Structure 1
Amino acid sequence: MSAEITLLVNPIAGRGRGAHAAQPAASALRAAGFSVRTVLGADAADALSRLRTAVREGTGAVIAVGGDGVVSLALQALAGTLVPLGVVAVGTGNDFARATGLPVGEPAQAGRLAAGALKEGRIREIDLGRVAGTGRRGETWYGTVLCSGFDSRVNDRGNRMRIPAGRFKYDLAILAELAAFRPFPYRITLDDGPVIETEAALVAVGNGSSYGGGMRICADAVPDDGLFDVTVVGDCSRTTLLKVFPQVYKGKHLSHPKVTVHRAAKITLEAAGITAYADGEPLGPLPVTAHCVPGALRLLA
């Protein structure tokens, strides 16, 4: 394994915590005898191009410093390769780190863990979701949750809002979507089974258990069992959705009669006017097909 480690840094993650977290992570790696190369990039596309170059040139590992966005970027370069990923989780969501049991908000500890795993060869192979190309996009890999329906409509609306800034605009987007809420007609195909036609508030396809900074929408999902957990919040009223949604933070929504959970290695979702998001990033409009790919990522743990 190469002694040069690539640090992929999102300097603005977690309201600037990414830039500060890179230093203790790099220090821990250097103290363990590794040299460190930092990748920033002018934008996401540039950062991914630079990261793919580092992987081709034989970097020993990639350490993603930031939140789920920077982890998502790293997955696009590392999926299916032998290059392992370490995570220094200092973003606002950090759902990938939560799902895989890595430290959250502790950059020095996370850096030491990654360095120790490299020295001792502690590698955990985990699954990833692979989504076939949608529109002009190529295939996309994800580690946590692919979401569609009410939650993705909230993301769509929040992303269009220029004011207010920060989390508050998503709170306003939730209120606006609730006012216009109605279940969506879905066509769901699990593995190669028959098409399920149903009305649903949302469908979430979990490789990991949570999204949105700890919302345990697929609470029982584990990232190394070769299967997705598919949570379907069914045909419900606005009042029921308001009752169910807060339960997501503790995973208690799964016992609600309007919630169904399926397990599958492959899923196709179809619904008009719905955007899919994976790891918090927009994929494009449905339909999408996702495959759970066993052992697609080598994780420093």
Structure 2
Amino acid sequence: MGKVEAGRDPFERRTYYFIINPVAKNEGSLKIWEKTMETLEREGITYNYAFTEYKGHGVELAREFLRRQGDAILVAIGGDGTIHEVVNGAAGFPSARIAYIPAGSGNDFARGEGINSRPSKALEGLLHSERERIIDLGYYKTSSEGYFLNSLGIGLDAAITRVVNQSQMKRYFNKIGAGKIIYFAYFLWEWMTYKPDEMEVVIDGERHTFTNTWLVNISNHPYFGGGIKISPNAKPDDGIFHILVIHNIPRLKLLLMFSTVLWGGHLRIKGVDSFEGRTIRITSSNGAPIQADGDNVGAGDVCIDMQQQMVKLVVQGE
């Protein structure tokens, strides 16, 4: 467990607990945290903070903070992976409240929630014009289990996520402000080499079988992959998953299809099927990889269930 640093009196009722990923955005999150601390000190805000030190540490820190004060406001500073860990740590603490200051390269959750992309503005909204919103989570069980905020994918998107997360080049490209290049490069590689799978998808008890399946995406939010609006109609508070299955599309046409995602044109293409549901079971014949909020969580088969009104999200007031 990492050292938990204290700002002011931690026993005052309204305490903010900040969980910071120090390597997010190539350590740009550290500069964001320094400016955040200056604001907190200047305004006399009670706060505690800790830095994550390894994968899964955000889960542990969130639980540690909430055991001290169950109704605290946990504030994640980092990317989608950081807020993903904080939310997983907060599961089981019904009085917990979650806030987010985006400091990553993708920031899909912030984009979908309308959280200001400028950290100073996001903090200002949190401190001075906050409101609470209760949102849903997806629960998954495969070789591991947990919750996701944005989406879960099985197939091509998870294969891309896997190689990007393992890449030694990712940090270098992020450092020079060209993080999108590494994603695009690995997308092209996986597009050329990935082998589509046969998948059985059971949605609320209704069975569907797809051959030559590129991917199945289960969305609780519109965005994934750093701004790709994969499910334009997905909402995190309606109790429904939006399910997208891409199958039986030739390799070249698949590349052209992804060029239409920005304006939602992919939903009209033959071989792109969309569904809605609350309980999903997916079986892949060749053990396709699985990702949840950009974190690789297993391969093969997965069960997903909608967990309604699971998180109290503190966002900027209207």
Question: Does the pair score TM above 0.5?
Answer: yes
**RMSD, aligned CA:** 2.0
Query: What corresponds to 1:172 in structure 2?
Result: 185
Structure 1 position 22 matched with structure 2 position 36? no
2:210–2:247: 8 Å Cα contact kept in structure 1? Answer: no
Name which of 279, 289, 294 aligns with 2:293. 279
2:140 is aligned with 1:131: yes
1:265 deviation in Å?
0.7
Q: Is the 8 A contact 1:28 1:115 kept in 2?
A: no
Q: Structure 1 residues 266 and 58 mapped into 2: Cα distance closer, same or farther (>3 Å)? A: same
In the aligned structure 2, how far is the partner of 1:253 from the partner of 1:170? 20
Question: 2:51 is aligned with what amino acid?
Answer: L
Shift in Å at residue 49 of structure 1? 1.8
For residue 45 of structure 1, the aligned residue among 56, 59, 81 is 56
Matches within 5 A, 1:4-153: 4-30=15-41, 33-58=44-69, 60-80=72-92, 81-104=94-117, 106-117=118-129, 122-132=131-141, 134-135=142-143, 137=144, 139-153=145-159
Q: Deviations over 1:16-73 (max 9, x none)?
A: 2211112333444455553111111332334432221111111520011111011011
For residues 107-130 of structure 1, give each alpha carbon's deviation from its aligned partner in whole angstroms, at most 9, with x where no partner exists: 111111111255xxx210011111
Identify the range of structure 1 (274-283 vs 57-66) with the bigger mean alpha-carbon deviation.
Answer: 57-66
Which position in structure 2 is the counterpart of 1:204?
A: 217
The percent of aligned pairs where both chains have the same amino acid is 25
Q: Among residues 253, 265, 285, which one is paired with 1:240 in the alignment? A: 253
Contact 1:39 1:51 in 2 (8 A): no
Cα–Cα, structure 1 residues 254 and 30, in superposed 2: closer, same or farther, change >3 Å? farther
TM-score, normalization by structure 1 = 0.90
Letter in 2 for 1:213: G
Q: State the TM-score, normalized to the length of structure 2.
A: 0.86
Query: Could you say what secondary structure the match of 2:304 adopts?
Result: strand
Quote the Cα distance in structure 2 between the aligned partners of 1:20 and 1:28. 13
Distance 1:86 1:285, change over 3 A: same
CA distance in 2, matches of 1:128, 1:5: 22
Mapped contact 1:28–1:112 kept (Cα < 8 A): no
Q: Which runs of 5+ in 1 are unaligned?
A: none
Per-residue deviation, 1:3: 2.0
Pairwise CA distance, 1:177: 2.0
**Partner residue of 2:265?**
252
Which AA in structure 1 matches 2:314?
A: L
Identify the residue that residue 283 of structure 2 maps to in structure 1: 270
1:232 and 1:74 mapped to 2: Cα distance?
29
Shift of 1:296: 0.7
Q: State the alpha-carbon separation in 1 of the partners of residues 55 and 276 from structure 2.
A: 33
Q: Is the 8 A contact 1:32 1:115 kept in 2?
A: no
* Structure-2 separation of matches of 1:223 and 1:128: 7
CA contact (8 A) 1:183 1:236 kept: no
Name stretches of at least 5 consecutive residues in structure 2 with no aligned partner: 1-11, 174-178
Distance 1:242 1:94, change over 3 A: same
